[in-house]
């Protein structure tokens, strides 16, 4: 079987996936240890017997729903290629708007906390752009923190301190210059949890009580104490949660509360400023 035939085989095998063509190409690149450009440059190149076996085994796993990111152990986010496994959420392009909004407001010398860092995606993306800023990346899960720390090492990023915690409960009042977070925000009975990649991701990173807002409620409340005056809180949420999250920010006393859309044009990030 050559590269063209392998991609065709993948397309047929994964016809139930949303993206059979690109899934097949990513999996094949992983097996051949090559880039997508290589696949197009050498379409006639034959797979070895072992490569055939490995490719087919991965296609079968993908067919039963295992996320591509878990099969190849990687996901790109912002400008970074991150290692991922089943201990963390798979970074999504939706979250890049949170990074872009935070970058607009981050200034030299700040201390910025990323709550529920998972694979480290947000903190690493910000830290890669802002070398003169100190980041604190928190997660409750030690398994996730290990992944995040390994990613920092891989990306040679040194301006992040990692800590295990329960949101902001161990942070003293009036300490932080910015808080960013992509917390769990899915309602426990949401049918999406039984579909697609979500079935393979840790529910601790996805589910937040009956209405999906349990953790956001807590973070908004705690952030009012932890943030310095005039500092910003930015939280990612579900596309239908913007008005409820807006109310939570307003009730807590945040000012300039606004919502930003992701690149899919969905309401995705709410931000607010701590009063003077
Ligand atoms: N963005 C994810 C999804 O809906 C959920 C992530 C989260 O709960 N933080 O697929």
How far is Cα 33 from Cα 59, in angstroms, rounded to an integer? 16
The predicted pLDDT at position 78 comes to 97
How far is Cα 203 from Cα 29, in angstroms, rounded to an integer? 30
Are the C-beta atoms of 28 and 7 separated by less than 8 Å? Answer: yes
User: What are the residues whose beta carbons fall under 8 Å from the beta carbon of 9, sequence distance 6 or more?
Assistant: 1, 24, 59
User: Is the minimum distance from the CB of 95 to ligand 1 under 6 angstroms?
Assistant: no
Confidence of residue 242 (pLDDT cuts 50, 70, 90): very high
User: Is the minimum distance from the CB of 241 to ligand 1 under 6 angstroms?
Assistant: no
User: Is the minimum distance from the CB of 184 to ligand 1 under 6 angstroms?
Assistant: yes
The predicted pLDDT at position 44 comes to 97
The predicted pLDDT at position 177 comes to 98
Q: Tell me: the pLDDT tens digits for 142-176?
A: 999 999 999 999 999 999 999 999 999 999 999 99
Q: Tell me: the pLDDT tens digits for 96-135?
A: 999 999 999 999 999 999 999 999 999 999 999 999 999 9
Average predicted confidence (pLDDT) for the chain: 97
Closest CA to 84 of 155, 149, 147: 147
Q: By CB neighbour count within 10 A (0-12 exposed, 13-18 middle, 19+ buried), where does 118 fall?
A: buried
CA of 184 from ligand 1 middle (Å) equals 7
Q: Probe ligand 1: pick from 92, 191, 215, max atoms within 8 Å of CB?
A: 92
**Average of pLDDT values for 261-270?**
96
The predicted pLDDT at position 57 comes to 98
Domains of the chain (ranges; CATH) run: 3-64 (1.10.8.10), 75-273 (3.40.50.150)
């Amino acid at each position: 079987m050559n590269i063209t035939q392998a991609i065709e085989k993948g397309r047929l095998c994964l016809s139930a996936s949303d993206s059979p063509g690109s899934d097949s190409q990513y999996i094949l690149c992983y097996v051949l240890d090559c880039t997508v450009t290589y696949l197009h440059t050498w379409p006639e190149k034959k797979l070895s017997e072992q490569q055939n076996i490995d490719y087919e085994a991965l296609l079968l796993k993908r067919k039963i729903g295992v996320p591509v990111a878990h099969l190849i152990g990687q996901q790109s986010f912002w400008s970074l290629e991150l290692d991922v496994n089943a201990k963390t959420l798979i970074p999504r392009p939706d979250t890049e708007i949170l990074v872009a909004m935070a970058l607009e407001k981050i200034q030299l010398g700040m201390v910025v906390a990323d709550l529920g860092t998972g694979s480290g995606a947000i903190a690493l993306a910000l830290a890669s752009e802002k070398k003169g800023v100190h980041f604190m990346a928190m997660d409750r899960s030690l398994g996730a923190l290990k992944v995040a720390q390994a990613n920092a090492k891989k990306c040679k990023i040194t301006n992040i301190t990692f800590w295990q915690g329960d949101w902001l409960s161990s942070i003293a009042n009036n300490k932080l210059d910015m808080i960013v977070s992509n917390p769990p925000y899915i309602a426990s009975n949401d049918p999406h949890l039984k579909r697609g990649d979500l079935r393979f991701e840790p529910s601790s990173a996805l589910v937040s009580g009956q209405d999906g807002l349990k953790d956001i409620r807590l973070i908004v409340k705690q952030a009012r104490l932890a943030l310095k005056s005039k500092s910003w809180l930015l939280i990612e949420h579900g596309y239908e949660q913007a008005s409820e999250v807006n109310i939570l920010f307003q009730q807590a006393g945040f000012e300039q509360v606004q919502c930003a859309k992701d690149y899919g044009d969905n309401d995705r990030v709410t931000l607010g400023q701590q009063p003077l």
